[in-house]
Amino acid sequence: MTQIERREFLTTLSLAGAATLFSGNALIAATAPKKDKLGIALVGLGYYSTDLLAPALQMTEKCYLAGIVTGTPAKAEAWKAKYKIPDKNIYNYQNFDQIANNPDIDVVYVVLPPSMHREFVVRAAKAGKHVFCEKPMAPSVADCEAMIAACKNNKVKLAIGYRCQHDPNIQAVMKVAKEQKFGKVKMINSAAGYFDGRTDHWKQKKALGGGVMGDMGVYALQGARLATGEEPISVIAQASTTRPDIYKEVEETMMFMLDFPSGARAACQTSFGINMNYLQVNYEKGWLKLEPQSGYLGNKGSMSDGTIINFPIKNQQAKQLDEDCLALMNQTDLMAPGEEGLRDIRVVEAIYKSVRSGKSVTI
């Protein structure tokens, strides 16, 4: 081998090594010792991470809080002290990609405004890390498809944070639909909303993925989809606000009617101005009620035959995290993969299209 050939060989080898590092080396992953617990890094340290996910990660059996990503140095110091996170596992949004070199971190959980989901899911995938992403998955179908493709191309898994699908109370509703215990679904009423007193939050800003369909609306939509076990085929929707000084760019309340292939219909309501959280399903031969239907805890209900739906769980987020991590460890299907998030956003796009046109839209 000549000196020039040797130099070219070494350059090629070096580039190949770098490419392998940032795409998640499959050989290293395959030969690495199996872990009893997966390390999770939370990206974004707002309310949901601070008050719900971090405490839940103190209760989990299959995963633990291994790292954080934040743009606020004061938060980094506070979390470091509270959770004993080593400096090497603390990142900001600029050096985030260096997480590729950190074997402590197996999963990156993106807990940012929806407009930022695509960027950080793609960056995490390119770093060779599995990704959990909060709902809603992203503001557009195109974003969702890019996120799914990035994870597939980098041979990592993507789960959407649909905590309710891990709740046995919601699973009871899904079971009734699957087994057709009361015959076919005829009509659904699904509502999810609360009064939000904030006036300057990402949920009120269009550029950040705000609007009620960028948050609570997905719960109302999921209630209808899970209760039928079907995907809607058309929708007609109406947006409104009672506080136009606050909801200048996005809707405060959305009402939408869904049609399903079986003939079932769903009337859905979601709002940042109204407290409501329930699901009622009327079948050919009975009914089911759940109230609340999407709380962090305490979801419960009943059926027309006297069956009580009440399966208390210790912590919904801990259950979600453990079950998703167990699926990664066992290489089994995730309960709510990226494709599930995409299904919702297809409907959300159709809802906004219906609002603009004032007409029913085929999905």
Catalytic: 135? yes
Instruction: Report angle CA 320, 326, 330 to the nearest 5 degrees.
Output: 150
Catalytic: 219? yes
Q: Are 223 and 215 in contact (CB under 8 A)?
A: no
Distance of CA 19 to the CA centre of its chain: 29
Please report which residue ranges of 54-167 form alpha helices under DSSP H.
54-56, 73-83, 117-126, 141-153
CA distance 41 to 89: 8
CA distance 162 to 39: 20
> Active site residue: 62, 126, 129, 135, which one?
135
> Active site residue: 91, 109, 162, 219, which one?
219
Among candidates 173, 170, 178, 182, which has minimal Cα distance to 283?
182
List strand residue ranges (DSSP E) for the chain, in order: 38-43, 63-69, 90-91, 107-110, 130-133, 158-160, 185-195, 234-240, 253-259, 265-271, 273-283, 286-290, 301-303, 308-309, 361-362
Strand partners, 286: 283
List strand residue ranges (DSSP E) for 1-141, in order: 38-43, 63-69, 90-91, 107-110, 130-133
Among candidates 101, 113, 110, which has minimal Cα distance to 150?
110
Q: Which residue has the tokens 């179908």?
A: 141
Q: Are 338 and 324 in contact (CB under 8 A)?
A: no
Show which residues are catalytic.
135, 219
